Amino acid sequence: MSATSHTANELAERFGLRVHGRADARIAGVGTLASAGPEQLAFLANPRYRGQLATTRAGLVVMREADAEAFEGDALIARDPYSAFARIAALFAPRPDRPPGIHPSAAIDPGARVAPDAHVGAFVSIGAGSRVDAGASIGPGCVIGEDCVVGAGSELVARVTLVTRVRLGERVRVHPGAVLGADGFGLAMDEGRWLNVPQLGGVVVGDDCEIGANTCIDRGAIEDTVLGEDVRLDNQIQIGHNVVVGAHTAMAGCVAVAGSARIGRYCLIGGGAGIVGHIEVCDRVVVTAMSLVTASIREPGEYSSGTPLMDNRSWRKNAARFKQLDALARRVPRTES
């Protein structure tokens, strides 16, 4: 039995759940319905896996009321089993040791301020005018440029770069390789040559956001690039300059958002989707994976573009006809008349 263990009753009281079966059933870890053992907790959220209840060895399962009626084992009843499982699983997530203090190899500008209880790891660089607030953790190899703020309880995991004028709120987590505050892609053509447009804004990230590995968020040209509270960005996402992303929006890997686009609250953007610049997406919009958004979306709902996967021979035939669609559409009214 792990040193960290909890009974069904303890978990129910802590997370507002109800016990089905033995209140003293004890678990010391988590697993899937197929792989969990007698000392582990699993969950059932997708009805497709309901058949695994008959064979699971899990000591405790989080499920909905309707699924528990025919279940002979021990369970925790939740309105949303997946979110309940996520909260319980966090109890068993290993937390790295981040003692307060500054590693001897860190380079801190005299004009920077670091809270006494913050952690600054090996080979960190913090520039003039920047601030690291209470309880923040700056992992090894991070670079914080000038005039940046890392809010209380925030974490830069490792090798994160805040270039300049980046403001992170409280409890923000940024994963390795992310770059915030680099120049936006601002160019002007002048007599046959590109001229860089100075990027004078910054990046503002709200409380409780999470930014994935190797994601890039450019600073604004004049005003700031802004992420609202609880925005969640996956790995390898590009957020262009002056983009505004509303609170609680989530984007999957490899999304690209061009400059000055405005995305609403509670939106879900699927992996590999693209959003062109200078358009608006309203609240509660779902954009499915690999879609390209080329115009503003003003009504909530689910939107898709692109062609579905098919065998190459069929795709080539259909692709050859794409060029004929306009001419065909022009002929239809004449044919019907």
Q: How far apart are CA 8 and CA 22, in angstroms?
A: 7
Choose among 168, 237, 163, 241: nearest CA to 199.
241
Q: Rg of the chain's alpha carbons, rounded to an integer?
A: 25
Provide φ and ψ at 327, rounded to 5°.
-65, -40
Those residues with Cβ within 8 angstroms of residue 130's Cβ, 6 or more apart along the chain or in another chain = 109, 112, 113, 144, 145, 146, 147, 148, 149, 150, 162
Q: Which tokens is 294 given? A: 């080329």
Q: Is 189 helix (H, G, I), strand (E, B) or coil?
A: strand
Is 119 a catalytic site residue?
A: no
Residues in the chain: 337
Q: How far apart are CA 128 and CA 110, in angstroms?
A: 7
Provide φ and ψ at 107, rounded to 5°.
-115, 110
Catalytic hit among 20, 241, 248, 278: 241
Indicate the residue type of 97: D
Angle at the Cα of 17 (from 12 to 19), degrees rounded to 5? 65
Under a CB-based contact definition with an 8 Å cutoff, are residues 240 and 277 in contact?
A: yes
Q: How far apart are CA 311 and CA 237, in angstroms?
A: 29
Active-site amino acid positions: 241
